[in-house]
Amino acid sequence: MFSLQDKVAIVTGAASGLGKEIALLFARQGAKVVAADYNKEALDQFKSQISTDLTISPVAGDISNLEDVKNIYAHAQSEFGGVDIVVNNAGVMDKLEPIGDLSDEVYDKVINTNLKGTFYMMREAVKIFEKKRAGTIVNIASIAGLEGGRAGAAYTASKHGIIGLTKNTAYFYTKANIRVNVIAPGAMKTNIMSGNIDLSNISDLVKSMLSTQGNQKVADPSEVANVALFLASDEASFVNGAVVVADGGWTTY
């Protein structure tokens, strides 16, 4: 397995789902991990489950709030003396609504968290990485960032934006030895949809999109976490600005 020995990593949305799997995997591979999440209750529960042989320091923070973002980086500095890797995983789902049904409230929440929050985290990371001329960012998008009909309008827009930010930042900062890549997962067994969707009220088209008919596979978060580990490691030293699709073949159809 790829080593992250003596690296310091920030993982957002780390209290559950994919973020939790990434935080645990990185720590098992030798990294010191700052596990950031806005859900304090979930974060406390995660903290109680951390093995004593893993170096994981939880911190509460909402990435759509710039002061919280700065506090996450300050926490990494005070706990571990800096940061080498940033994984922007935190995100929220929309209600699978097309643009005509999309409210300002839902649009703003999704864009502010998924896109603006990732922007805040990346901007702070680049400031640090430029000074030491080294650093790695791994962003989590979705196949909704590549396709038009895999989610609602707000989520789709946010994930397309993350892919664009990734490619642009990778290009402009490659000479500073900063690598920026993005993973586009397909369906995963996580709680991102909890509380957002009443499946009894959505269209047959959307039900079909969410279903596991045909060849669509639903990933365990650990399968996507392995991709993040590779991209964060030195073994991926020549991978920059890449969109790595991890969807079990869903987008082949």
Q: Which residues are catalytic?
A: 155
Describe the strand order of the beta sheet including 8-12 as a list of residue ranges.
56-60, 32-37, 8-12, 85-88, 135-140, 178-185, 243-246
Nearest in space to 11 (alpha carbons), one of 124, 87, 121, 123: 87
Q: Please, are residues 134 and 177 in contact by the beta-carbon 8 Å criterion?
A: yes
- Interhelix angle 117-132/66-80, nearest 10 degrees: 40
How many residues are recorded in the chain? 253
75/180 Cα distance (integer angstroms): 22
70/74 Cα distance (integer angstroms): 6
Half-sphere exposure of 155 (CA within 13 A, CB side): 24
R_g of the chain computed on alpha carbons: 17
Strands (E), 45-194: 56-60, 85-88, 135-140, 178-185
